[in-house]
Structure 1
Amino acid sequence: MAFELKIENKVALITFDDGKVNAVGFSLIDALNNALDEAEQNADAVVMYGGADKFCGGFDLSVMKAEDKTEQVKLVQAGADLIIRLYSYPKPLVVAAEGHSIALGAIFLMAADLRIGKDGDTKYGLTETAIGMVLPAFGMELAKSRLAPTSLTEALLFSRVYQGKDAVKVGYLDAAVPQEQVLATAMGYAEKLKMLPAKAFAESKLQLRKETLSKMRG
């Protein structure tokens, strides 16, 4: 897994790229938490970028399909804690998602403040029902808060995946642009958002999201 944190002009760019689908395991969660710690101290806005052609395909299947149920529970809990942290993060958080964002990848999108994706053949969605799983409570509550109410049935129960402008309409993305513009667009928004008064932004975010956060933690 190639992982990098770069801070310039008070904007932190967190890049993670395993050359495949950016499966989320313990090591990536630890790296993201460490990067978020540093960004919280030294940056005024954060961009998360999954590298060219990808964003995140979900939890690491080598753990989730193994026989060790204890490790599975630990990984899901660590993922839930990270999502809750992202959703309540005190600095503006922007995601640049050039590629597929499925399952936990889609939850990452919903946890961010602003989401820039690809206008093309890239899939964004929650596929848990389709693979015989029930979306964990932290993901369900987040989806109810961030997705369009009229799309919840097809998104959550039918496991529909969306592309481009449709992903914007349902609420996985805020903008869909050509792939070569995804990262630059996200960085441009971060440059603007970093100008917001930090204390007011952090407190307003918690006030806006406190009910959903309570349900996610419960």
Structure 2
Amino acid sequence: MNRPAVRNALDQSLVARLREALTSAESIGADVVVLRGEGPSFCAGADLSLLANHDRASAQTPRNHLSAIWDLTLAIEHSPVVFVAVLHGHAIAGGLELALACDVVVAATGTLIGDGHVRHCLLPGGGASARMERTLGRGASAWLALTGKFLPADDPVFAPWLRSVVPPTELDETVAAIVTSLTDVSATARASYKQLLDETHGSLSASDRDRELDAFDRHWLANDVPSALRAFLTKTREAS
């Protein structure tokens, strides 16, 4: 992901390019895709300036954009390719949702991880409500969801999920070792086992996507979320 100036916030172009990269990886028979973020952070979530441009008074919601993010995460989960997410800086909101869809996740020490949606009067729109509890458990997911707080990667709540938490200087070496371990086994067996794990977990579908996005739309239309986003963006620009 290469939008470092905005912490790789997910706009329409970036989501489309990620989906194209996934399709390309599958078409060439890639074994592993490593998902990383350029610059100071992995991903800070959906582009808030894009969301803020939707006119609530005209009953506009960013559902199409969020649906594209959801569909990307579904494609990652259902793909025979193994996805390794490499977190650093921030992995919050949509960034966390991308990571939750990946198969193996490693983080640099100091990475802040969180849901964060409620900080901006938002509900999730990229799968957090469907994936966070099954990955982190009820207690941790409820805390992250309902407070919007960010926790460091080495917090014990992430221990069952993160494969490794290492100093930034060791991140490349750790990722290389993970890729080697994944590619040392039978590709067909690995792909079939991934599918089995997905089905055993309770494979997510368009119905799960629509349930979350329906709730997002109801909340968006009942509250002046765009104004809250614009106020936050103005404050952030003035502070910088």
TM-score, with length taken from structure 1: 0.82
**Which residue type is aligned with residue 24 of structure 1?**
L
Q: Secondary structure in 2 aligned to 1:153?
A: helix
Equivalent of 1:165, from 113, 133, 154?
154
| Equivalent residues of 2:97, 2:127 under 8 A apart | no
| Equivalent residues of 2:87, 2:108 under 8 A apart | yes
In the alignment, does 2:207 pair up with 1:213? no
* Distance change in 2, residues 1:131/1:170 (3 Å): farther
* Distance change in 2, residues 1:20/1:137 (3 Å): closer
Query: 1:124 matched to which residue of 2?
Result: 113
Query: 1:49 matched to which residue of 2?
Result: 36
**Which residue type is aligned with residue 152 of structure 2?**
Q
Query: Percent identical across equivalent pairs?
Result: 26
Instruction: Out of 107-116 and 68-77, give the one that drifted further.
Output: 68-77
Q: Aligned partners of 1:25 and 1:131: how far apart in 2?
A: 17
Q: Secondary structure in 2 aligned to 1:213?
A: coil
| Equivalent residues of 1:86, 1:112 under 8 A apart | yes
Measured on the aligned residues, the alpha-carbon RMSD in Å equals 2.3
Instruction: Mark the structure with the bigger radius of gyration.
Output: 2
**Which residue type is aligned with residue 13 of structure 2?**
S
Query: 1:7 matched to which residue of 2?
Result: none
* Distance change in 2, residues 1:118/1:168 (3 Å): farther
- Deviations, residues 32-51 of structure 1 (Å, cap 9, x unaligned): 11111222233211101102
TM-score, with length taken from structure 2: 0.76
The aligned length equals 203
Query: 2:215 matched to which residue of 1?
Result: none
Query: 1:198 matched to which residue of 2?
Result: 187
Q: Aligned partners of 2:133 and 2:157: how far apart in 1?
A: 16
* Distance change in 2, residues 1:96/1:140 (3 Å): same
Instruction: Out of 105-114 and 65-74, give the one that drifted further.
Output: 65-74
Q: Which has the higher strand share?
A: 1
Q: Secondary structure in 2 aligned to 1:124?
A: strand
Q: Which has the higher helix share?
A: 2
Instruction: Out of 133-142 and 74-83, give the one that drifted further.
Output: 133-142
* Distance change in 2, residues 1:32/1:190 (3 Å): same
Query: 1:33 matched to which residue of 2?
Result: 19
Q: Aligned partners of 1:180 and 1:168: how far apart in 2?
A: 24
Superposed counterparts of 1:32-111, under 5 Å: 32-42=18-28, 43-68=30-55, 70=60, 72-111=62-101
Structure 2: gaps of 5 or more residues: 211-240
Q: Aligned partners of 1:165 and 1:114: how far apart in 2?
A: 16
Q: Aligned partners of 2:99 and 2:150: how far apart in 1?
A: 14
